[in-house]
Amino acid sequence: MQQVICVSTEEREGLHDITEQVRRLVAESKVRSGIVSVYAQGATAAVMIQENWDESVQTDVVNLLAQLAPRGVWLHDRQDGNGDAHLKAGLVGPSETIPIIDGRIGLSTWQNVFLCEFDGPRAERRVVVTVMDADR
């Protein structure tokens, strides 16, 4: 089973919790044992598993990446001013793979799935969610 989650972003950079959408798609699939792949389409977006207990971790992620890849100093900035966004997306990566255990996504208590926006705002970011059954 494969479906697309669409997310609208309102800021240039931020983490957007998509855990419930992924959880819902896994439940709809009726897969009891397998994996779910979560993939961000776009060269300036990424997917990350991270804590969502409070927003400080998300803010820390954005701040760390800003230190590692600051704005305005990259060759690609001459084209469209988003060289840092490409580097951040490359560092985090476009996808995560999560086990499905007894029909549920195998995240721990504090883990959530985030779409990472590094070049917003965007009216639509597309995240492809693919559910695979281990028993087939």
Among candidate residues 91, 92, 101, the one with its CA nearest the CA of residue 36: 101
pTM of the entire structure? 0.96
Domains and their CATH numbers in the chain: 2-133 (2.60.120.460)
Residue 136, pLDDT score: 79
Residue 12: strand, helix, or coil = coil
Residue 133: strand, helix, or coil = strand
Q: What span, in angstroms and rounded, lies between the C-alpha atoms of 46 and 96?
A: 9
Beta bridge partners of 35: 99, 132
Residue 54, pLDDT score: 87
Residue 71, pLDDT score: 95
Tokens 């997917």 sit on residue: 47
Residue 13: strand, helix, or coil = coil
Q: Point out the residues of the chain with pLDDT beneath 70.
A: none
